[in-house]
Structure 1
Amino acid sequence: MIRHLIFLLILAAGITLPWGRSVPPSAAASPGIPAGRDIGRLIGEADALVAADPEGRTVLSIHADKMLLPASTLKILTALVARHYLGPGHRYKTEVYLDSRNNLAIKGYGDPLLISEVIREICKNVAERTREFNDLIVDGSYFSTVTIPGVTDTVNPYDAPCGALSVNFNTVNFKRSGRGYVSAEPQTPIVPFIHGRIRKTGLSEGRIVLSAENGESTLYAGHLFRRFLADAGAASTGAVKKGTVETGRDRLLYRYTSVFTLDEIIERLLMHSNNFMANQLLITAGIAAKGPPGTLRNGVSAADAYIRTVLNRDDIRIAEGSGISRENRITAACMMRILAAFTPHHHLLREEDGVYFKTGSLSGVRTRAGYIRGAGGGLSPFVVMLNTPGKRPEPVVSGLARLLGGAN
């Protein structure tokens, strides 16, 4: 049930590619689709294309060493970095403590899938251990304040900030009812804390992004926890406040371990191209490499080390893990090396008509990377990077599918 609801919430949050719906790679296949050398005519000076056969022999290579914007195809690298440092069996945790003053404290560790259904289960277990507490302390100290380059101050879900204690992808879905607001999702009540923020948008309905400024997103998490705790029979006599758990002094009351493995999180990340999830993974990978608190700088540093020492590449510059920043640069040759490392996990990518792929979109940029399964079952990796405004990757990928896919 929780897994299904997470899928629906991700979908409702606009966490598919926010700039438009992708076309299935082979949907445009027709007699007019180019094949072989004709595919190269679609690649301009600001674009790149590399494709290989299942044995790794290069079939096509155009501008393979040109540094270009990867957009969301960068998430494939982020997935590899997370698996390297955290391990495929990693499960996020969230802890609840009780201090000597009968205050309840919730400490987050960066779980990107801490949604209402999960919170309800946590609160049910906590309510079995305590029925009344004073203040509710929210501890987001496992991450430092994180600013993601490329993220702007909008109400779009792809601009959601990161945080150690973040709920529902740091978004709130609402609609107007009479003179007030109610939740647009039955599993998530609207708490009074967020009313003023909704009014400021001037919207009658929609999904807003919580801000990291003044701890808004962390405090919102606390208010939502307090509401679910009350529903479960554990009442608060105090306020929701930011604070930190005193390890060794505060008593651990309950530890929630995510039902999702890291690979299951990665599958959802790649399917829905969730920028928030990508950078949550990158930051926690940085913690695994360098220790807490989590910072974007340490996450990028960990990724750089992985690229140099494991992939043996230096033709990439990354500023964050989702691809939203225009500071990110990579060559198609480097992306092919990433795909070579990701081949055992290709099933985590979206698949349509024998093509496993990740799309990427920014203004004036369209990219696609993945694998084409041939008639014999082998996987042919490909990278299409179009940094020429107005171009679309579908004709290129369709031509590649005909060239490399055999009977596909």
Structure 2
Amino acid sequence: MLVLMLLIGAGTTAADTTLNERLTALLGPRDAVMVAAPDGNPVVAVRPDALLVPASILKVVTALATLHHLGPEHRFITDFHLDGDNRLAIKGYGDPLLVSERVAAMAAELAGRLERIDGLVLDDTYFDQPLTIPGRGGSARAYDAPNGALCVNFNTFFFERRNGAWASAEPQTPLLPFMIDAIEASGLTSGRITIAGNRHEMLRYTGELFEHFLRDAGVATAGTIAPGLLDTDLHTLLWRHRSEHPLTKIIADLLEFSNNFIANQLLLAMGAQVHGPPATMEKGVAVLQHYYTQHLGITTGTLVEASGLSRHNRVSARTMLHVLARFQPHHHLMRQEGRQWYKTGTLQGVSTRVGYLESEAGGLYRFAVLCNTPGRTTDRIMQLLERNLR
């Protein structure tokens, strides 16, 4: 756990008193609001330094730190090697967007380089296992998906019952033996299943998906699917795949879909980049701490993971405005509605929203709204801000 102390000043002398009073009437005792004008001067501030649970607005912090450490054009790689037994060895480096469509395209590329394989060896050792993500439970919900260096489809799949048989509910994803076993073990009749965090299950899912698409592409497959450690002295590099998606695309998806799996994949990738593999949560959070203290100058709050899922995370509205000032060149990566670019956060009893509101002159107000009072949401507060900030 990281405890950070704020170095930003506490004054809001330029705040609009009338708007402050109207906002205060909408806020509960554990809520906070702060807004800065396009010129950077504070417009309103109610409890700007209260340390509150941020929920998913923390992903903006993660995005900013990742852009700094990996670079906006960073592309994740996946390595493919052949060993002396003609087994295809796949080494993952944490690509968070390794989905069925991309696995199919990778298999098609591999089909032009080999005709047959006698087994699959899956190397996920770039990330440590097991990984404990603070706030992540063991539910079947997508936000509880586990992390790893070689994962497909965010470690989830969607299924249904069709004509008396199990079927994939996503046309791009085939029904795999692993999926049938997981469906029957779940007792569900349809819906989404999230892998519970067992390394063997994660790798089985990945291996079966690659095997399926390799066969579809015309590669003869035999042998087993097994975890293993890639030895560059014994394995011949067949192909290094570089993702077609730069980091900016991944961050846009992170902010659009609020994907916890992506957030913590990025945290782990930063940890391995800065401190060396294998990636651990401790290394990733240490990178965030260094970025906060050395690059943002922020020293209050608590960060324990990257997605905002943990209730032990704490930030202030003033901190988030400081983060938004740094993120402003990338604000177009956020979701847009009307003249607002924003990121929301929701946990039980928590409703948060941060972002930018375009002025009539084309400038950007920065806003942070954190509601930790049960039953309060950001909706009426944002309506008031939209009406008054022109």
TM over 0.5: yes
**Which residue of structure 2 aligns with residue 373 of structure 1?**
358
- The counterpart of 2:87, out of the listed 103, 126, 138, is 103
Residues 45-194 of structure 1 aligned to structure 2 (within 5 Å): 45-145=29-129, 146-194=131-179
**d(CA) in 2 for partners of 1:219, 1:212:** 12
- The counterpart of 2:321, out of the listed 311, 329, 336, is 336
- What is the identity, as a one-letter code, of the residue corresponding to 1:90? H
Output one character per residue of 1:114-156: Cα deviation in whole Å (capped at 9) or x when no partner.
1111101111111211111112011111101212111111111
| 8 Å CA contact 1:35, 1:402 repeated in 2 | no
- What is the identity, as a one-letter code, of the residue corresponding to 1:370? G
- What is the identity, as a one-letter code, of the residue corresponding to 1:59? V
- What is the identity, as a one-letter code, of the residue corresponding to 2:97? L
- What is the identity, as a one-letter code, of the residue corresponding to 1:211? A
**Which residue of structure 2 aligns with residue 225 of structure 1?**
210
SS of 1:330 mapped into structure 2 = coil
Output one character per residue of 1:238-264: Cα deviation in whole Å (capped at 9) or x when no partner.
010011110232111111111111011
Corresponding pairs, count? 372
Aligned-pair distance for 1:178?
Answer: 4.7
SS of 2:287 mapped into structure 1 = helix
Output one character per residue of 1:96-125: Cα deviation in whole Å (capped at 9) or x when no partner.
110011111111111111111110111111
**Which residue of structure 1 aligns with residue 7 of structure 2?**
none
- Ranges of 4+ aligned residues in structure 1 off by more than 4 Å: none
- The counterpart of 2:288, out of the listed 281, 286, 303, is 303
Aligned-pair distance for 1:35?
Answer: 5.0
**d(CA) in 1 for partners of 2:29, 2:40:** 25
Aligned-pair distance for 1:297?
Answer: 1.0
Aligned-pair distance for 1:351?
Answer: 1.1
- What is the identity, as a one-letter code, of the residue corresponding to 2:303? I
TM-score normalised to structure 2 length: 0.93
Residues 272-311 of structure 1 aligned to structure 2 (within 5 Å): 272-311=257-296
**Which residue of structure 2 aligns with residue 243 of structure 1?**
228
**d(CA) in 2 for partners of 1:332, 1:315:** 12
**Runs of 5+ consecutive residues of structure 2 not aligned to the other structure:** 1-17
**d(CA) in 2 for partners of 1:326, 1:36:** 28
Percent of pairs with identical residues: 44
**Which residue of structure 2 aligns with residue 266 of structure 1?**
251
Aligned-pair distance for 1:179?
Answer: 5.0
**d(CA) in 2 for partners of 1:162, 1:176:** 28
- What is the identity, as a one-letter code, of the residue corresponding to 1:126? L
Matched, 1:212 2:194: no
**d(CA) in 1 for partners of 2:99, 2:199:** 22
Aligned-pair distance for 1:36?
Answer: 5.4
- The counterpart of 2:333, out of the listed 325, 344, 348, is 348
**d(CA) in 1 for partners of 2:21, 2:338:** 23
**d(CA) in 2 for partners of 1:304, 1:36:** 32
| 8 Å CA contact 1:125, 1:254 repeated in 2 | no
- What is the identity, as a one-letter code, of the residue corresponding to 1:43? L
SS of 1:194 mapped into structure 2 = helix
**d(CA) in 1 for partners of 2:239, 2:167:** 30
| 8 Å CA contact 2:98, 2:151 repeated in 1 | yes
**d(CA) in 1 for partners of 2:387, 2:199:** 53
| 8 Å CA contact 1:36, 1:399 repeated in 2 | no
**d(CA) in 2 for partners of 1:101, 1:159:** 37
Bigger Cα displacement from structure 2, 41-50 vs 341-350: 41-50
Bigger Cα displacement from structure 2, 201-210 vs 170-179: 170-179
| 8 Å CA contact 1:212, 1:218 repeated in 2 | no
**Runs of 5+ consecutive residues of structure 1 not aligned to the other structure:** 1-33
| 8 Å CA contact 1:96, 1:106 repeated in 2 | yes
**d(CA) in 1 for partners of 2:360, 2:347:** 33
SS of 1:341 mapped into structure 2 = helix
